[in-house]
Amino acid sequence: MLEILSDGPFNTVQDLGRPSAVPWGVCAGGAMDRESLIRANILAGNTVGAAAMEIMFFPFKVRFLENCVFAVAGAPARATLDGTSFPPDWSMQAEAGQVLILQAPEKGVRSYLAVAGGIDVPVVLGGRGTDVKGGFGGFKGRGLQKGDRLPCGHAELHALPDGGVGLSGIAALPDKDNVVLGLIPGPEYEAFTQEAHSLLVTQHWTITPHANRVGFRLEGQSPLLTRQSLSLLSHGVLPGTVQVPPAGQPIIQMADANTCGGYPKIGIIAEPDLSVLAQMPPGSRIRFKLVTQEHALARMRARTEALQSLAEQVPAFKKHLLAS
Amino acid sequence: MRIHCAGANAFLLDMSEGTFQDTIQVRIWGMAHVLQAAQGITMLTPGANNLLVVFDPQITEIQSIHRLLKQAWDQAASISITPRELVVSVVYGGDGGEDLAHVAQQTRLSETEVVRLHTSCAYRVAMIGYSPGFGYLTGLPPQLHVPRRDRPRLSVERKSVCLGGEFTCVMPQTTPSGWHILGKAQCPPLFDPTAQKPCFLQAGDIVRFVRA
């Protein structure tokens, strides 16, 4: 059991979403930065999709009400456990009563706190994540508030060395002025003008303040226009899709996007780039680089395999620590 | 069928030929039925005369999925699924149907005629989407096609029966909407996240409205 000590309407319980509920019109949801959620879970000894906390509002304070192993990944928030600091991408052993404080990170906007056993909230529509729009899932279907007591799932208590263990060599987040994202040409790519094709990959796109779990609105100096106005029938839309409404300024669909839409789609951002984008605050400047579907698929596979191998190595390493 | 890339591991299959066609949609449900049993497919979202398909990137190759999709579309031509039929009672007009008079004016029909037309036909749930449990119902008589409001209302109550363009619907949640409100449905919740079958409507269902 954990007790939340700070209010944060955008701090939510998240997992890897509820893809099986999308055909019912329910957003896929889940962690915005899926890579970091998975890393936090691996470090905490969980399955990759266990429910953890996505933290956007700092300083974040939580008290552990029982002994437990936890891990923090994602945006490198300055973290202290009862005043003792520890590095990013790290797991620690907390004693009952200890307080964890996460201070605002210098880079990135979302940190992930996983506890061994996962946050044990009920499964709703195949997921434990919070659907804030729908008001269900997670903890009471809402952001976390001071005084909330979150149950943790059962986990065997592994003793960690004092000071904990962590990962090194995790790629740092890009500077907010220099974010380059791969973009797969989308279904309506060819319907845009030649000028739009050129602008798409040459000009900078700024993330506007209208950036949340539903979508990121971008602004570029010149708009992206189609050769003629398009009238599309409603169709399913996945997170990462870059829609371009008639005014020509793109909107990137994020985890909590509506499940269908009708705007032209100039491209799609795939994982792991989507996880990087999820860490970028408003004001960040993005450039797009066109990639083929084959290339994007190969990268997605490579990342999945890398995380799988990490998931195998970390428990083995912890066991080794215990034996030594 | 046009196969578009919709993600590293996703395709949007576009079968549309201009405006929405029921016959195409029926074949899409058939295709979704065929693909549900196929290995390596992780998500299927039927849209209006299109189908979004997501596959497992670890086990499926792009070339093999192309073949699979073409086969499934061919197979779908000969599949028939018997639809469910639902009857929904509606209180037309009054407080729960504040746009009935406006729709009558726009369509140059009497309010009684609007209600008679709206209750005269069998609608089909073309797709579920937009918001949880929201069903786009096709088959609205052309006389009732009214453009959406210029300014969407900030809040339209759940279970409101609305018209928007060529579609009609029952609102599953209280949300903003630019559709016109004809009345209030008397039916179970359209979306219940705790139920085993969370949606009252399913793609392919036939819906008839009757005056309460």
Residue range A76-90: average pLDDT? 95
Query: Where along chain A do its domains lie?
Result: 2-171, 179-291
Cβ contacts of A23 on chain B, cutoff 8 Å: 43-46, 128, 203
Cβ contacts of B58 on chain A, cutoff 8 Å: 301, 304
pLDDT at B152 > cutoff 70: yes
Q: Is the distance from CB of A238 to CB of B10 less than 8 angstroms?
A: yes
**Buried residues in B165-186 as b, exposed as e (16+ CB within 10 A):** ebbbbbbbbebebebbbbbbbe
Query: What is the per-residue pLDDT across A288-310, written as a single tens digit (0 to 9) for each?
Result: 999 999 999 999 999 999 999 99
Query: What is the per-residue pLDDT across A111-140, written as a single tens digit (0 to 9) for each?
Result: 999 999 999 999 999 999 999 988 899 999
pLDDT at B41 > cutoff 90: yes
User: DSSP per residue over A73-104, as a string?
Assistant: EES--EEEETTEEE-SSEEEEE-TT-EEEEEP
State CA A192 to chain mean position distance: 30
pLDDT at A161 > cutoff 70: yes
Percent of chain B with pLDDT over 90: 72
**Buried residues in A242-257 as b, exposed as e (16+ CB within 10 A):** bbbeeeebbbbbbbbb
Read off the pLDDT band of A204 (50, 70, 90): very high
Q: Is the distance from CB of B5 to CB of A185 less than 8 angstroms?
A: yes
Fold type of domain A179-291: Cyclophilin (2.40.100)
Cα–Cα distances in Å, from A125 out to A25, A50, B129, B155, B194?
11, 15, 15, 26, 7
Query: What is the per-residue pLDDT across B125-143, written as a single tens digit (0 to 9) for each?
Result: 988 988 899 999 999 999 9
pLDDT at A324 > cutoff 60: no
Percent of chain B with pLDDT over 70: 100
Whether ipTM > 0.90 holds is yes
Domains identified in chain B and CATH numbers: 2-76 (3.30.1360.40), 85-211 (2.40.100.10)
pLDDT at A321 > cutoff 70: no
Q: How many residues does chain A have?
A: 324
Q: Is A235 on the interface with B (CB under 8 A)?
A: yes
| Residue carrying structure tokens 């191998």 | A309
Cα–Cα distances in Å, from B88 out to A160, B150, B189?
60, 29, 12
pLDDT at A323 > cutoff 60: no
pLDDT at A322 > cutoff 80: no
Residue range B184-204: average pLDDT? 92
Query: What is the per-residue pLDDT across A259-276, written as a single tens digit (0 to 9) for each?
Result: 988 889 999 999 999 999
Cβ contacts of B45 on chain A, cutoff 8 Å: 22-23, 236, 259-260
Q: Is A265 on the interface with B (CB under 8 A)?
A: yes
| Continuous H helices in A223-280 | 273-278
Residue range A190-212: average pLDDT? 97
